[in-house]
Amino acid sequence: MGRTADQGGRNRPFSKGGLRLLMILLLIPLLGGCWDLRELDSLALVFGMGLDLGPQGDGYRLTFEIVRARQIQTPGPDGSGGGGGQRNPYWLLQATGPTVFEAVRNATLQSSRRLFLSHTQVFIIGEELAKSGISPTIDFIVRVNEPRIVKWLLLTADEPEQIFAAEPGLEQITALAIADLIQNYGITSKIKPVRVVDYLETRMHKTSANTLPIIRIKETAGKKELIIDRTGVIKGDKLVGYLDPKETRGLLWVQDEVDGGVVTVDAPGGEGKATMELFNADTKLTVEGNEHGIQVRIEVKVRSGLGAQTTSVDLSTTNQIERLEKRQAEVIREEIGAALTKARDLKADIFGFGEYLYRHDHRRWKGLESEWERYFVGAEVDVSVEVMVEEVGLITKPTIYRAPEGG
């Protein structure tokens, strides 16, 4: 009823609480849907997207890894794959067009369902396209409302379609396997993962150069598998060179992005190697400038532990630990030095020295901006590394230990 009777027989309106409840009940039927809801059966879910130049370098050729949801195998009662049959759980579709956007639309001429890009995990750009400029590619990803700019961006010297057709390892969808490869970078710290939004942020810096991880096909026992083991340097919006794993980790040391990994050194006091596990790394960067140039100081502090050794020498003694610390510091300085040398050769400020000066001493930066490339190449760089070995594992002496003669 719309009104109630009180003890005196008079009617009174709903209380505020009752009116609020009534409004909620009336609104519930309107909350069951979404204005742009699309049935999954009418969409082709794209998990991976490859972009390269079109035939004869004209326009663009796109590759889409589209998931066949009904073919995804789920574990059966005995732990084996159940259902899904033998069909490939994904479909590779290619399309071309004078622009990336038209190429996407042209793909619907071959697909019975409309392509849906919101689930795209990785965008892989071909080397030839990267050399000609990737701005049109990034423009499409950012401009339309479906692709998500928090997803991964990579380069490849292979054909993007070959990357998606490679063996996905433990996963069923290649794009998901690639995303997992990138997210596990901290195990080695030899990969610098880059999301679309990371690329955009660096691109906005006036003097900084971008880097993108490079994925390639590796033949293993007759199978085509995937590996990420190099880094591409993007100056402006064009690919101008490469970093190897050593140079890539040198870059990560400078940018304070080493999250883990190992460093292998020559074992002190004998033949063999010692592998140190990185527990923690912290880098402090300082950039100063004057009319004569810029001065850069890089201070790295590392905590590590002995993970393995191939020598019979006891490395758990105080003297040997100190020698391990010095040798590990030397390797880290070498990695940073290799990255600095390559960046200078390419005249590309991949470290963000200019951006640091822009943020901390804008007046000085304005005086150097017009000739930043020259100042970057001629920068005075001082690198200091402090290493502390905190543990040697569950054993002190090696399993191949031999006591010193006469000991």
SS3 305: strand
CA distance 25 to 34: 18
pLDDT value of residue 77: 46
Which of 6-15, 361-370, 396-405 is predicted least confidently?
Answer: 6-15
pTM beyond cutoff 0.75: yes
Residues contacting residue 189 through CB under 8 Å, at least 6 positions apart: 249, 252, 257, 258, 259, 260, 261, 278
pLDDT in tens, 339-357: 999 999 999 999 999 999 9
Region 332-336 average pLDDT: 98
Q: Name residue 87's amino acid.
A: R
pLDDT value of residue 41: 73
Q: Which CATH class for the 246-407 domain?
A: alpha beta
Place of tokens 């879910």: 45
Q: Are 243 and 342 in contact (CB under 8 A)?
A: yes
Region 167-173 average pLDDT: 90
Q: Are 214 and 231 in contact (CB under 8 A)?
A: yes
Q: Are 290 and 365 in contact (CB under 8 A)?
A: no
Q: Are 245 and 227 in contact (CB under 8 A)?
A: no
pLDDT value of residue 406: 55
Mean pLDDT estimate for the chain: 87
For helices 135-143 and 196-204, the axis angle rounded to 10 degrees is 120
CA distance 86 to 83: 9
**292 closest CA partner among 379, 382, 383:** 379
Region 288-292 average pLDDT: 90
Residues contacting residue 280 through CB under 8 Å, at least 6 positions apart: 302, 303
Question: Domain boundaries in the chain?
Answer: 39-243, 246-407
CA distance 183 to 197: 16
SS3 362: helix
Partners of 169 in beta bridges: none
Q: Are 330 and 338 in contact (CB under 8 A)?
A: no
Residue 221 has pLDDT above 90, yes or no: no
pLDDT value of residue 16: 53
> Which alpha helices (DSSP H) does 32-185 contain, by range?
100-106, 127-132, 135-143, 160-165, 174-183
pLDDT value of residue 109: 95
Percent pLDDT > 70 in the chain is: 84
Number of Cα atoms under 13 Å in the Cβ half of residue 217:
17
pLDDT value of residue 402: 60
Bridge pairing between strands 262-266 and 223-235: unpaired
Residue 271 has pLDDT above 90, yes or no: no
pLDDT in tens, 190-205: 999 999 999 999 999 9
